[in-house]
Amino acid sequence: MSFDESLQLSRQLRPMLPRLYHLSRRRIPGWDLTGSQSSAMATLVDRGPLRMGELAALEGVQLPSATSVVNGLVKLGLVERRADPADRRAVVIDLTAKGRRQVDQLVERRNHSFALLLERLPAQDRRLLQDALPAVERLLSMGPAPENTPDPEARNTGAPAAD
């Protein structure tokens, strides 16, 4: 496949990804947490116990916002604050057993909901999606494109990319 063909594929695929993401994360009845609370819990599942500043940075919010989100989750019994084993003066945030159960239930409900969506496709289309999964995994494992991505205009003219 040439670069131009890859570029065309990118133009077709990239706009679909946010829509696919939103379909997979659509609101589940009975899940009454805010998007920020759900996101913080997902981050704790992925990363394990975190200091408040680390959680705020990963969530892309200011410390007061992260603190407010965590306070709400603590009140619901979904996360807890405890001493950091590496530095007893510091505090880490972690999911409680109840929080882990809630996340597990949410993931399973979302998987079920997405499976119902997939079931609407013909079996052949579902097989094509399944066959593409290894390529998607490889793509995700590569991380972002290099920072020195060529300027599309420079590529077409043969001139060096602008800095």
Structural domain span for residue 47? 19-144
β-strand partners of 82: 92
- Per the domain annotation, does 1 fall within a domain? no
Least confident of 11-20, 35-44, 134-143, 148-157: 148-157
Handedness of CA 150, 152, 153, 158 (dihedral sign): positive
Q: 94: which strand partners?
A: 80
In one letter, which amino acid is 100? R
- Domain membership flag for residue 88: yes
Contacts of 52-55 with C-beta under 8 Å, sequence gap 24+, read 52/91, 52/93, 55/93
Strand pairing of 50-51 and 79-84?
Answer: unpaired
Among candidates 58, 56, 162, 49, which has minimal Cα distance to 100?
49
**Mean pLDDT estimate for the chain:** 88
Asked, for residue 6, whether it belongs to a domain, the answer is: no
CB atoms within 10 A of CB 55: 23
> Does residue 37 lie in a domain region?
yes
pLDDT at 156: 53
112-132 per-position pLDDT tens digit: 988 999 999 999 999 999 999
pLDDT given for residue 144 in this prediction: 84
Residue type present at position 65: S
- Strands, E, within the chain: which ranges? 50-51, 79-84, 87-95
CATH number at residue 121: 1.10.10.10
The answer to whether residue 35 is domain-embedded is yes
Whole-model pTM over 0.75? no
| Residue 82 forms part of a structural domain | yes
Question: Is residue 68 pLDDT above 60, yes or no?
Answer: yes
Segment 8-23 mean pLDDT: 90
Structure token digits, residue 5: 């063909």
Residue labelled with tokens 């379909």: 23
Q: CB 145: neighbour CB atoms within 10 A?
A: 7
Q: Is there a domain that residue 5 lies in? A: no
Model confidence at 155, pLDDT cuts 50, 70, 90, reads low
pLDDT digit string, tens, across residues 99-116: 999 999 888 888 898 899
2 part of a folded domain = no
Number of domains the chain contains: 1
